[in-house]
Structure 1
């Protein structure tokens, strides 16, 4: 790709303006408008709007508040019109949860005490009746995280450390420390909706065959071009329709099931039945951020659980707000890391479960087509996905697609390097 083309893409990227984040709750004939977590009150301009009906998320849209207009009035009309069918369906009372399992919330972190504090505050505001919080300080270089937990959260939060760097290693330490029947995972850069944990874990009580659950991830802020660009192409969200993935009844629209694990959810919003996760050996410590593999630890967990015959449930009612990365350099790192994590996790699956190789090879031709589609340059599209979430209002830079393809080529190498590094670390500790 020519230097001139890269510079053109960067200039176009820098022209992307900020977008406000807000929530609009439709309650009968009334509507309540609130700013998103950490956002100021809505003024004029573009607004990324989460639309709720009596508190339940039903969709998103990109709204516009003209200068001098009342924000609520300007947004409520388009929201009611766009989501009339969804709002009507949401008027039916939800099936009440008959109970929630005792749950451990695991948050892995490394030198981000300021972000962690916001995440922990949102955890303590959960309406779940029976849960604990475990913070895993991964390869810390300062005492900032320990000091935060001990000074402000000691009564409600357990603090543990994991010296081996890497998100999967930190999550495994959390699994080891957890006491709950269900273990939920989220990141240190999220703010959780008050009903997040209840909505995420209640399905485990209703379905003994459920091994994993995932939920909805929306942007906490859209202040920088990088954040807006990522979210205009769908961000981390998986839609507003609940879905069950059952290995006994593979979805007809998922010919690569279960190897397209990125469709199931993300590590910032997932939960596992504790005994199921432990039975499959937890997460592969040679995957995940902080290792040469760069990512893939959550996808590995999803596929291992599904491959054991357990179901996975996605629910948009389990909502967290995520702080997206902020700069062009962040997006470059993220694109390369996602590509690497994808093929690293597939390598990890085949190394740890070689019996899945025939099924993988049978799906490989379609898998290659999927990979090409995944990294193809995304053109601007005024249509977008149902609910207006993935509006693709900004073209996806070719450079980011190229970096993701490079990452995919590197992923197996990165995974093998991570395994060697782990073996060396074990030998080193054993010789002391």
Structure 2
């Protein structure tokens, strides 16, 4: 289990406590301290969790770089990734890794992410419009049998899962080239590291399974400014990962161009201002529109989309090609 972190020892400790009570019989937890400014993370791991959690330092900033460093340090057949702002259900790791044993062609498994709390308007608004969850039904994505209800497949990577709850067969991730180090939080690209990896594994010929039995609870950002930053990062990460995919796998360009008209329509709909529907609703009810999505956040997402390719290229120029 690889957890990349930067200067958040309080939330990291909470996450580690949940990872150390997993019912999976054979696992190791690795913390990757990404571009640290202080010794707080190292002190926490090496003192409070000595002998139970392995500490690795990565000085180059960027979530994808940190994930690659953690993967290189690990020796397991399956590499699970989560974030420092989650609490993992005790059965999480068992549920997330079991599908690999049942399907030798499986390269990636993702799981369900639910909110740890809904105590601020920003948290409620995010969750009311879907949050990080991808539904409550399992699903298999197979490049040999593209899903009929997803005409943009495999470029709708956001529907496959999220980086706070994902696992890869180590051999599949290596064959796919790992995470693109010019993507992710901490780089000018702002995000897209998980989306890139999902598509890379699928285009390498492996299947991807979403399993809601693998559950983590995510601590959503609390303030309006956090939500503004998140909206911008989502937009940037989307187009950054698409740029990364084409730069690193140009043979996919014809397929992407064929899907471009529908893709643009999908992007416009995804970032549209969602108005209030008629009728009542429970505050924060999952997937409903009872809390209108502000136009300002839609504009932030679209500005992020414009930034994404430039941010990705800036990250590569700065040294993200490593």
- The normalised TM-score by structure 1 is 0.72
Secondary structure of the residue aligned to 2:28 is strand
Q: Distance in 1 between matches of 2:182 and 2:289?
A: 34
The answer as to whether partners of 1:383 and 1:391 remain within 8 angstroms in 2 is: no
> By how many angstroms is 1:379 displaced?
1.7
Matches within 5 A, 1:5-20: none
The answer as to whether partners of 2:3 and 2:30 remain within 8 angstroms in 1 is: yes
Q: Does 1:268 align with 2:197?
A: no
Secondary structure of the residue aligned to 2:184 is coil
Q: Distance in 2 between matches of 1:393 and 1:196?
A: 31
1:171 matched to which residue of 2? 67
Q: Distance in 2 between matches of 1:383 and 1:297?
A: 38
1:218 matched to which residue of 2? 114
2:287 matched to which residue of 1? 390
Q: Distance in 1 between matches of 2:30 and 2:125?
A: 33
Deviations 1:360-383 (A, max 9, x none): 111111111111111011122359
Q: Does 1:115 align with 2:29?
A: no
Q: Distance in 2 between matches of 1:226 and 1:278?
A: 38
The answer as to whether partners of 2:6 and 2:33 remain within 8 angstroms in 1 is: yes
2:48 matched to which residue of 1? 152
Matches within 5 A, 1:316-327: 316-327=212-223
Q: Does 1:188 align with 2:81?
A: no
Q: 1:342 aligns with which of 225, 232, 238?
A: 238
Q: Distance in 2 between matches of 1:282 and 1:391?
A: 36
Of the structure 1 ranges 108-117 and 220-229, higher mean CA displacement relative to structure 2 is found in: 220-229
Q: Distance in 2 between matches of 1:124 and 1:201?
A: 16
1:300 matched to which residue of 2? 196
> By how many angstroms is 1:151 displaced?
1.2
Q: Distance in 2 between matches of 1:275 and 1:183?
A: 10
Q: Distance in 1 between matches of 2:267 and 2:202?
A: 21
Q: Which runs of 5+ in 1 are unaligned?
A: 1-104, 427-432
Matches within 5 A, 1:25-424: 105-381=1-277, 389-422=286-319
> By how many angstroms is 1:393 displaced?
2.1
> By how many angstroms is 1:423 displaced?
6.0
Q: Distance in 2 between matches of 1:339 and 1:169?
A: 21
Q: Distance in 2 between matches of 1:317 and 1:152?
A: 30
> By how many angstroms is 1:218 displaced?
0.5
Where in structure 1 do 4 or more consecutive aligned residues deviate above 6 Å? none
The answer as to whether partners of 2:181 and 2:320 remain within 8 angstroms in 1 is: no
> By how many angstroms is 1:154 displaced?
1.5
Instruction: Name the structure where strand makes up a greater proportion of residues.
Output: 1
Q: Which runs of 5+ in 2 are unaligned?
A: none
Change (3 A) 1:215 1:383: farther
Change (3 A) 1:393 1:145: same
Q: Distance in 2 between matches of 1:212 and 1:351?
A: 22
1:20 matched to which residue of 2? none
Q: Distance in 2 between matches of 1:150 and 1:163?
A: 18
The answer as to whether partners of 1:216 and 1:269 remain within 8 angstroms in 2 is: yes
- The normalised TM-score by structure 2 is 0.97
> By how many angstroms is 1:224 displaced?
1.0
The answer as to whether partners of 2:79 and 2:169 remain within 8 angstroms in 1 is: yes
> By how many angstroms is 1:411 displaced?
0.6
Q: Distance in 1 between matches of 2:280 and 2:100?
A: 36
The answer as to whether partners of 1:244 and 1:313 remain within 8 angstroms in 2 is: yes
- How many equivalent pairs are there? 318
Q: Distance in 1 between matches of 2:40 and 2:276?
A: 43
Q: Distance in 2 between matches of 1:337 and 1:357?
A: 24
Q: Distance in 2 between matches of 1:383 and 1:273?
A: 45
Q: Distance in 1 between matches of 2:2 and 2:320?
A: 26
Q: CA RMSD in A?
A: 1.3
Q: Which has the larger radius of gyration?
A: 1
